[in-house]
Structure 1
Amino acid sequence: MLYAQKTPADKRADFRAALASGELLRFPGAFNPLSARLIEQKGFDGVYISGAVLSADLGLPDIGLTTLTEVAGRAKQIARMTELPAIVDADTGFGEPMNVARSVQEMEDAGLAGLHIEDQVNPKRCGHLDGKQVVDQGTALQRIRAAVDARRDPNFLIMARTDIRAVDGLDAAIDRAKALVDAGADAIFPEAMADLDEFAAVRGAVDVPLLANMTEFGKSDLFTVQQLADVGMNLVIWPVSLLRLAMGAAMRGLDELTDAGSFTGKLGEMQHRSELYELIDYEGYNHFDTSIFNFTVAR
């Protein structure tokens, strides 16, 4: 009913404890607050909030057009709807190091459990596209130091994402990961690894949690949770998968409407009204007014 009962501070503490357990944590990407609640209902460990998804939700490409205000506002709406920890893609930090510092505090205030800051230049692009450019190491480290300095809750996770693998190769990615850890990063997101051996190489180089990005149609193969656990990953995200599934279903539904003149043929693929009401805890609002949920929904 309404929003999560667990406080952001408690979510962060629980998230840190889960990361320390050594188990691989599964964070599907939520494309709206309701999908975050569904992720929780289905028993996952946390919620990921993708910059690409937030851009697409606005009808924009993932090239750094979204603002800190837009991202923090939408991330807050998503994070508050679930008892799970949520981490957010903060792109390059929305500006210079001082902007990175402000971004961290805005995301703390929004109730997030953590964020990641990447080392691309502006305008950035999706991490699985060709033609990426990264900043020099000094600039990358400056961003992370600013993020760490700005943090008020020590359990708020500062993750450093590096995109340098696609630009200068695996050795460069390992060197940068080490430097980012030395700069204070709590975790590393090595983007666009080519195979499991590359994930394993980064795992052998740094002693902080590592995130694997299992995005479809990208540079990395789609490894299973077990395969990633076997090479020592700590977090796995599927950032855009639910949005892709939802949009694919919407495309097919609109085609059905064009061809058949109704959605009748798609009823079996829809979330039932009763399932929606259960997910949003319609009945729980009778706590305020007993006339709210005084009906039966046929299944």
Structure 2
Amino acid sequence: MLNVYSARHYDSDKEMYKEFEAETGIHVRFRESGAPELLETMKAEGEASPADVVISSDAGTLYRFEAAGLLQPFESETLKAAIPEHFRQEDGYWYGFARRARVIAYDPQRVSPQDVSEYADLADPRFKGEVCMRSSTNIYNLSLMGELIGRLGHDAAQAWASGVVANFARPPQGGDTTQIEAIAAGECSVALTNHYYYVRMANGSPSEQAAAAKVALSFPEQESWGTHVNVTGAGIAAHAPNRSNAEKFLEWLATPLGQSWLTKETREYPIIAGAELPEGLEALPDFRQSDFPLDDLGTYQSEAQEIYDRAGWN
């Protein structure tokens, strides 16, 4: 038996569990909900929690589970060999199994690529009334701000947030897909998004493909520290009743088959070298990725939210 608590919600994940069960004979039960809900559930369950494995997106979210005492360390030579050091928590509390890039989406009819080559460009006054964003409370934005704080310092990060707010085309709303749709509709010309939202649209329904065709992506900071990257990761629950099976599952996620199922529908990048890319990723360019310590993103969350709040980024 294996009990998975997952903040993901993809049909391919259900098939992934079936593949693991067929290969190992370990029956998988899963519970899907938002990360905040899963975290509160596990807190309430305490030592009686049936959770064996926690899967969630973003190192910042995984940090929250770790900080709440809901994960336990797992030292695995198999995972250390398969997963680059940058994409795993140093003490083994979680491992990254898929990576994503936080990029700038823009209207190529109105914006030149060189005008969106850095995250700082979003705060440039030339984009006044042209920036669409989702809420500052979203973990993707909090983690990006965490890196900006770590690299630039508090004051420069605050100036960036205030400059972006001054350029808003409308109040923050929706998800990453909403921002791409807004650019396609002419409501704004630039926005932040994770790469895979664009890839899904570009390979989606006719209407989604039509919207994506009006939008281009910039992978910022190619001449400096590299584009902000993050992970979908997993760790073993603190009171896992089936720890041995949990260990087997995490190591299976780092196999070509596990990687294929984990990234198939999401269109994230696989973590392990040589894993097959999901459909659509071949159209994206190779890019320099940031090496900022992912575990540090969580430590900056409170400061990041304070900066956004002070800037008026709701």
- Same fold flag (TM > 0.5): no
- Which of the pair is proportionally richer in strand? 2
Superposition TM-score, scaled by structure 1 size = 0.29
Q: Which has the higher contact order (CA 8 A, sep 6+)?
A: 2
